[in-house]
Structure 1
Amino acid sequence: MKYILVTGGVISGIGKGIISSSIGTILRSYGFRVTSIKIDPYINIDAGTFSPYEHGEVFVLDDGGEVDLDLGNYERFLDITLHRDNNITTGKIYQYVIDKERRGDYLGKTVQVVPHITDAIQEWVERVARVSVDNDKTEPDICIIELGGTIGDIESMSFVEAFRQFQFRVKRENFCLVHVSLVPQPNATQEHKTKPTQHSVKELRGYGLSPDLIICRSATPMTLSSKEKVAMFCQVDKDHVICMPDVKTLFRVPLLLQENGMFNFLSTRLNLTLKNNYDQSLMIKWRELIERSERQLDEVVIALVGKYTALEDAYASVLKALYHAALFCNRKLNIRFVHATDLEANTKKEDPVKYHEAWQQLCSAHGVLVPGGFGSRGVEGKIAAIEWARTKSKPFLGICLGLQCAVIEFARHVLQYKRANSSEFDKVEHQVVIEMPEHNPGIMGGTMRLGRRTTYFVTDDSILKKLYGNVDSIDERHRHRYEVNPAYIEQYEKAGMKFVGRSDDNERMEILELENHPYFVAVQYHPEYISRPLKPSAPYLGLIWAACGELKNVLTHVTKQQPTAPDIVSKSPGPFSHVSLFRHT
């Protein structure tokens, strides 16, 4: 087993996640089986209780693990399926050690950070690195480990010490350290300043870890003299200093790393034996995605109505799923973030300018998306947006809470239950959305309906069933604790709202569609979690196609097998031309 540790210096959010994913993409293109581990030094057990404003979205895995959004990058780039143990936190490690101490596993010894915590970290990494992430259940060849935070942070010191020991535990020829550091470029001089990187590497070396490769993040390409300065003061070969400037297209990062000799370096450093009959088609497809993404002409405008619109990372997977679908449909994506509270009547009284601007943004879009979320803030604005989309025949997609808001809106304005609501927000007579019976409200973390679940189509007359390829059932990832009240289903369906997808016990409503509407679809699950650049999510595809006015034509050509992305996008440019690359790590 080979291990690649990726650390960060100077500031957080430098792009370690994208770098790690890109290194993995390069290695997979040469036939190596790759897995990834993300280490977060916070004390939380997992990311499940974070506010999106605190740490971006919570990404959910097949096994129900609520993890850092960088694991979403790993899955999308590498097309693998990770597990909850692939995300390590300080809280998990300490809980693991304390549980062992309570069982008496340490035989009365004094339990300390060194060696017990550091040993637990090393054992966890070695155990998880050997777990298969591919369909063939084969043990990976290489494990890429991203250490979150910044070198020098006090909370990450136990992990740094663990990897200082780990490099000797697994032998030097099996361990490689890649350090990603910021090289600022002040506007006054436009000169690349290498001093912060020098100090970062000095501190790293002081902890007993020496970088084998330094990746310098900068706004513009570095000069040769700047690279030579980094090499000289950081004691690495100048060929082992790679500049990674800001780029417009996410897909360009693996190619830039490869052009700078990434695989040749790793092959030499880790003594990698090239796989027989390896296929470089992955990098060819990656290059084609870049070319398409930079040639988009026709634009599609989607209004995203949410409550966390001030931070795009709060909807990271939703945005990527929209981009994947737009790429598939040969459209340049323009997302308008509409804060849900700005659409509410109270805003009209308090700030009429903001109110009318929000409605103008919504009404001029080609389609409307209401994503998931929690809490009552902004719900009335979401309901108002859904009513407008329903009555004006505007393409609409609701995700999780978006489905629940659609159910509430329909009950109020079609079924005439004027005060209908969710039990999450108000205790009223007509609770059309209720808490799931098995939910435990006394504990916050890990108590929702999480992870991969099967949804069964109960009718052939379904837009989504056709978009999924006319299959009888689908597997998607969930994250919710409220559901549609089964007592009202008959009334809904008589009025034209059809629940075409249900759980295996027929009790939970998973997919709703509205009759006599171009595209009014909502799902209880989160299809964005398994969207891929070359295999976009069906609900998002439907929204983009409907927003482009092409859905009806597309559905007439759907066969038993869902068309694969290369069949349609091979002649199409992509949607990533305006996306900032390094938003979060």
Structure 2
Amino acid sequence: MPDMKYILVTGGVISGVGKGVIASSFGTILKSCGIDVTSIKIDPYINIDAGTFSPYEHGEVYVLDDGGEVDLDLGNYERFLDITLHRDNNITTGKIYQQVIERERRGDYLGKTVQVIPHITDAIQEWVQRVAHIPVTSNNAPPRVCIIELGGTIGDIEGMSFVEAFRQFQFRVKRENFCCAHVSLVPMPKSTGEPKTKPTQSSVRELRGLGLSPDLILCRSEKPINHNVKEKISNFCHVAPEQVICIHDLTSVYHVPLLMEAQGVVQYLNERLILNISMPRPSRFMRKWRNLAKRVDNLRKEVNIALVGKYTKLEDSYASVTKALQHSCIATGCKLNLTYIEAVNLEKQMKIDDPVNYHKAWQDLCKSDGVIVPGGFGQRGMEGKIEACQWCRETQKPMLGICLGLQAAVIEFARNVLGLKGANSTEVDPTCEDKLVIDMPEHHPGNLGGTMRLGKRNTYLEPSIVSQLYKKEVIEERHRHRYEVNPEYTKRLEAAGLKFVGKDDTGTRMEVAIIKDHPYYVTVQFHPEYLSRPLSPSPTFLGLILASLGKLKSYMNRGCRLSPRNQSDVSSDEEDLSVSSISLSDENTIIENGKEENLTTNLKKMNGQVNGNTG
């Protein structure tokens, strides 16, 4: 087997500069060249995993098939690369130290003094090499390239052991198998109106002082930067001009791989890592991404979706939900107009405490075409979610409830239809009169981290709108919850009109609840957003968007097939697209006006000079 190739992506100046999207874009470009890739995300915090984080800390907690609770960047990798990662693809300082301490307790170090160097750094290197060889595709093909994103910024004290580990690692795997890409911010102060390279120079100087010399410098900026700036960064950072890649703010993240490829990333990686990619690339190269990016840019008709959540102050708290909504909008040819509504503001008490925000929240809810009630934990905002569920049920507004959204819908139905005014969740009120939602003792032994019902599990569907959307009777979706609907109340709920059409393999856990005489009132215990892909949207999200557009009935009548959009970018002879057949393959892309606009060629002609109209 050929040697494993490693691409380390580091960041400088500030965090949140886009390392995750750039790391995913490296993988997208290489996969387009026929090279299987895998990804590793390193988070230098001491937590074992992301499971106990508040969404305000690092955004949402992303859940993998094996139940791993990981950083949201792994969601970027899975969506961009269409791969299935594992819990070990997310490394934390806590995991490394836990492993080393367990070895020390067993006596594996034979009485030696356990230190950061070499024991911690060796553990990091061994972990990376082990995980890099684990297949992440459906055909179990071994990866050839491993893309590693080092979280935080260079110079952070908590990341020092990882930087030192990779300083050693580059010699361990040999230079031709290791490449370092450094992502840095190039700010453009309004007072001067020109890009400033000093932060990048300082960041690269810090990285080189720690023993890692960047092979590629990826400059993030608000606006395109010209060739003179690239030359300046080249002179001060010890790289050739073609090794400086400029990535300005774009209309969508789907343009990032195109912009990187247009600036010679394939050629450089091919030579630097000896990948043996045949050059030049064919004319169809990355056409699927060009078409995807153009489709996103050409969405015109808007659909207004209200998200009633608990953590709306940070949009990353619902990153996968937002992406899943966008995927469905791409498939239906509409533009997402998403409004975040703080659930607390819908509660009756807010009418007294804060009438301005109360009326604003209800106004936003009433203006929406559809509503989504996502998951969450804790008491705060629960009554607001229940209010939203009641309003959607009574006004026939399309709604999708996820996890806590299902539980809120069940409680609301019990209170207002069955007349059980004391109905609640034991999470909110352990002493409530009617315990409609109860905890699962086998998944809640006392510790919070990793004790929920996690990972991919089967759901068995009865004939319903949900089974039609999925076109399956048995589906696999990822879970993350420690409370469930009390089975003692299900018969009474179903008799009153709330049908449980999805259950687990034991038949005792309620997975899907719907109201039949409603345009779209679907609630699920699992998290369908985790398995949604750009051109293979989650069926439940697609149903919500179609219902919000008033097109769900016609979609169902066509056997759950999307008809060509009434837009100029769809040729008249194009066949209907089935949701199950939509993929990122070249064969299923849509080309505007029957022609392909070659963004890559246009950018290459400009010799690195990128203007403001590109992309």
In the superposition, the TM-score normalised over structure 2's length comes to 0.91
- Which residue of structure 1 lines up, in the alignment, with residue 43 of structure 2? 40
In structure 2, the residue corresponding to 1:438 is in which secondary structure? helix
Residue from 564, 569, 572 that aligns with 2:581: 564
Q: Structure 1 residues 562 and 465, CA, compared in 2 at 3 Å: closer, same or farther?
A: farther
Residue 207 (structure 1) aligned with residue 214 (structure 2): no
State the structure with bigger RCO (CA 8 A, min sep 6), 1 or 2.
1
CA drift of 1:503 comes to 0.1
CA drift of 1:558 comes to 1.6
- Which residue of structure 2 lines up, in the alignment, with residue 463 of structure 1? 465
CA drift of 1:437 comes to 2.7
CA drift of 1:571 comes to 7.0
Contact 1:395/1:520 (CA < 8 Å) preserved in 2? yes
Contact 1:322/1:540 (CA < 8 Å) preserved in 2? yes
Q: Which moved more, 1:138-147 or 1:219-228?
A: 219-228
CA drift of 1:223 comes to 2.1
Give the aligned length.
570
- In 2, the alpha carbon distance for the partners of 1:354 and 1:372 equals 22
What are the equivalent positions in structure 2 for 1:206-245 lying under 5 Å apart? 206-245=209-248
Q: Which moved more, 1:379-388 or 1:281-290?
A: 281-290
- Which residue of structure 2 lines up, in the alignment, with residue 75 of structure 1? 78
- In 2, the alpha carbon distance for the partners of 1:50 and 1:357 equals 30
- Which residue of structure 2 lines up, in the alignment, with residue 508 of structure 1? 509
- In 2, the alpha carbon distance for the partners of 1:280 and 1:568 equals 16
CA drift of 1:281 comes to 5.8
Q: For each residue in 1:551-577, what CA deviation from the matched residue of structure 2 results, as whole angstroms up to 9, or x when unmatched?
A: 01111112698542369983799xxxx
- In 2, the alpha carbon distance for the partners of 1:54 and 1:562 equals 35
- In 2, the alpha carbon distance for the partners of 1:494 and 1:385 equals 23
Residue from 385, 389, 394 that aligns with 1:391: 394
- In 1, the alpha carbon distance for the partners of 2:591 and 2:428 equals 48
CA drift of 1:295 comes to 1.2
CA drift of 1:294 comes to 1.2
Contact 2:288/2:589 (CA < 8 Å) preserved in 1? no
Q: For each residue in 1:480-521, what CA deviation from the matched residue of structure 2 results, as whole angstroms up to 9, or x when unmatched?
A: 000000001110111111100100000110001102101000
- Which residue of structure 1 lines up, in the alignment, with residue 97 of structure 2? 94
Q: For each residue in 1:189-240, what CA deviation from the matched residue of structure 2 results, as whole angstroms up to 9, or x when unmatched?
A: 1111111111111111111110011011111111222111111111100111
Q: Which moved more, 1:304-313 or 1:290-299?
A: 290-299
In structure 1, the residue corresponding to 2:313 is in which secondary structure? coil
Please tell me the residue identity of whatever aligns with 2:336: L
- Which residue of structure 1 lines up, in the alignment, with residue 343 of structure 2? 340
Contact 2:83/2:136 (CA < 8 Å) preserved in 1? yes
- Which residue of structure 2 lines up, in the alignment, with residue 61 of structure 1? 64
Contact 1:535/1:565 (CA < 8 Å) preserved in 2? yes
- In 2, the alpha carbon distance for the partners of 1:540 and 1:69 equals 19
Please tell me the residue identity of whatever aligns with 1:320: K
In structure 1, the residue corresponding to 2:122 is in which secondary structure? helix
- In 2, the alpha carbon distance for the partners of 1:368 and 1:350 equals 25
Q: Structure 1 residues 421 and 572, CA, compared in 2 at 3 Å: closer, same or farther?
A: farther
* Pairwise CA RMSD: 1.7
- In 2, the alpha carbon distance for the partners of 1:155 and 1:339 equals 34
- Which residue of structure 2 lines up, in the alignment, with residue 442 of structure 1? 446
Contact 2:219/2:244 (CA < 8 Å) preserved in 1? yes
- In 1, the alpha carbon distance for the partners of 2:474 and 2:205 equals 55
Residue 545 (structure 1) aligned with residue 565 (structure 2): no
**Percent identity of equivalent pairs:** 63
Q: Structure 1 residues 212 and 69, CA, compared in 2 at 3 Å: closer, same or farther?
A: same
CA drift of 1:419 comes to 1.3
- In 1, the alpha carbon distance for the partners of 2:265 and 2:169 equals 23
CA drift of 1:438 comes to 0.7
- Which residue of structure 2 lines up, in the alignment, with residue 184 of structure 1? 187
Residue from 158, 161, 186 that aligns with 2:161: 158
In structure 2, the residue corresponding to 1:205 is in which secondary structure? helix
Contact 2:47/2:93 (CA < 8 Å) preserved in 1? yes
- In 1, the alpha carbon distance for the partners of 2:194 and 2:214 equals 24
- Which residue of structure 2 lines up, in the alignment, with residue 580 of structure 1? none
- In 2, the alpha carbon distance for the partners of 1:562 and 1:211 equals 42
- In 2, the alpha carbon distance for the partners of 1:441 and 1:251 equals 43
Q: Structure 1 residues 572 and 516, CA, compared in 2 at 3 Å: closer, same or farther?
A: farther
Contact 1:194/1:226 (CA < 8 Å) preserved in 2? yes
Q: For each residue in 1:282-320, what CA deviation from the matched residue of structure 2 results, as whole angstroms up to 9, or x when unmatched?
A: 721111111111111211000000011111000000000
- Which residue of structure 1 lines up, in the alignment, with residue 321 of structure 2? 318
In structure 1, the residue corresponding to 2:259 is in which secondary structure? helix
Contact 1:467/1:558 (CA < 8 Å) preserved in 2? no
Q: For each residue in 1:125-176, what CA deviation from the matched residue of structure 2 results, as whole angstroms up to 9, or x when unmatched?
A: 0000000001111210000000000000010000000000000000000000
- In 1, the alpha carbon distance for the partners of 2:283 and 2:46 equals 41
Residue from 403, 422, 426 that aligns with 2:425: 422
- Which residue of structure 1 lines up, in the alignment, with residue 437 of structure 2? 433
Q: Which moved more, 1:289-298 or 1:522-531?
A: 289-298
Structure 2 unpaired stretches of 5+: 562-577, 594-615
Please tell me the residue identity of whatever aligns with 2:534: P
- In 2, the alpha carbon distance for the partners of 1:325 and 1:281 equals 25
In structure 1, the residue corresponding to 2:442 is in which secondary structure? coil
Contact 1:296/1:572 (CA < 8 Å) preserved in 2? no
- In 2, the alpha carbon distance for the partners of 1:245 and 1:49 equals 34
Residue 451 (structure 1) aligned with residue 455 (structure 2): yes
Structure 1 unpaired stretches of 5+: 574-585
- In 1, the alpha carbon distance for the partners of 2:241 and 2:49 equals 39
Residue 382 (structure 1) aligned with residue 382 (structure 2): no
